[in-house]
Amino acid sequence: MATNDISQLDPKPVWQFFAGMTQVPRPSKKETRIQKHFCDLAEKHSLKYKHEPVGNIIVQVPASPGCEKAPITVLQGHLDMVCEKNRGTDHDFDNDPIRTVIDKDSESSDRIVRADGTTLGADNGMGVSMAFAVATSTDVKHGPLELLLTCDEEAGMTGAKALAPDSFKGKRLINLDAEEDDFIYIGCAGGCDSNLAWSLPTAALSGEKAVRVTVRGLRGGHSGGDIHEGRGNAIKLLTRVLRRAGDVRLIEFEGGSMRNAIPREAHAVVALSSNQIAALRDAASQVQAAGRAESFEKDLTIAVEDADAKSAASAADTTRWLTAMAALPDGVMGMHPKVPELVQTSNNNSTVHTERDGDRLRIHLGALTRSSSDTLIEAAKAQIAAVAALSGADISEGNQYPGWEPNPSSPLLKTVQSNYEKLFGDKPTVTAIHAGLECGIIGQRVGKMDMVSFGPTIRGAHSPDERVWIDSVGKSYRLLCAVLADLAAG
């Protein structure tokens, strides 16, 4: 076996499908090639399928002989992936295949698969691959299946939102987008985007010096699954540096790249008097030390270097904007009162982008708020809107999606639990997750569904640190096969 040939890992059918996915670019909203890839696979295996206009693919899988009368089970996953790469990594997500590496985890020494400087796409390529492995196997006993492969989950969940009651027939669904192999999820948070925009007049520099301040080296991660770890947010850390430096004039601010990823890097260009440079460098050093201590971000660096510029926003407008940035909530806003260790409400200030429009500097901020409580998500949105109003920002909201209400009495849950205990001699953890799964939207769009979610262990999703545990893939696939056989038996 070649050192990094993941197609030869066990279980081979799963890894072979995943290896195929790594060769096909699949950024969110640019999924034409991966959709064709799976339509071609369905035809190759003589499986009927429907390719919806929005991009979803629904594949019909006949039952194993003798299991035709079992109710339909839907296996669901999403085709797109988050595209993040390390600084200095030469990779074009629109055209290049993912370079996979078989490795050992630095902490546990367990065997893992990761990518070479980019996100891996195990989220949710592993779930899709397990579903297709089952669908094309002659060894797995199952009733009739429908594979629901949705599009654009990571950047808007537009595929799930476009589903209709007649998109598929099954009324029980296994979502394969979970990331802890000993957890079964029965609920998730809902979410909403807030988009803030400021427009600041600019004027020529009058003797000030332009400098660039860069924050990098943060872990980043999933803004739902990792938000409870208190990881550093590059945008917030950069804001702290600039506010400590005194009166500065904003020229440029760029940070983050994805609405659902904790920002790993950010930079700003500001103008300030020469006698403030030492204070700015001192602020950078202090915030760097604090960030490493507060968030265990051992690789965090904050650098100050010379830059060039001719005009900037005023010091007063910059202070007002930085004050608004400091006031915006970020991270965990509240824990669930009834579910230990579950985040109930959070906000991630995901992206900041600036652009010049004549003599004005336009600043755009994107935030993603999550909550399992409808009233608390509204309260969090109102808090963000209040900051916008006080600072003179325009605000718009969009991409709101519902949470998934837990059903502890689910018959499907009982089947998954009992098979887990038989296979592994232990009880799984049954809980809800703060990340957004498509189950809530699916239930809303197509009617009442009996749903659970499980999958292999994946860490560092939505960042170049993403990695999947090799043995965990086998564990989750064994569970899926056992559950389907049990359901087929009635």
Count of other CB atoms within 10 angstroms of residue 111? 14
Q: Is 397 designated active site?
A: no
Q: Is 154 designated active site?
A: no
How far is it, in rounded angstroms, from Cα 98 to Cα 83?
10
Nearest partner of 443 among 131, 225, 148, 178, judged by Cα: 148
DSSP reduced 3-state for 287: helix
CB 55 within 8 A of CB 35: yes
Structure tokens at 27: 């950024």
How far apart, in Å, are the Cα atoms of 266 and each of 228, 237, 238, 350, 365? 21, 9, 7, 11, 13
Residue with token string 């579903």: 131
Structure tokens at 149: 């492969």
Residue count of the chain: 490
How far is it, in rounded angstroms, from Cα 380 to Cα 378?
5
For 459, how many CA atoms within 13 A lie in the half-sphere containing its CB?
A: 14
Cα end-to-end distance, the chain, whole Å: 41
How far is it, in rounded angstroms, from Cα 41 to Cα 246?
60
- Of the residues 153, 154, 181, 438, only one is catalytic, namely 153
Q: Which residues are catalytic?
A: 80, 153
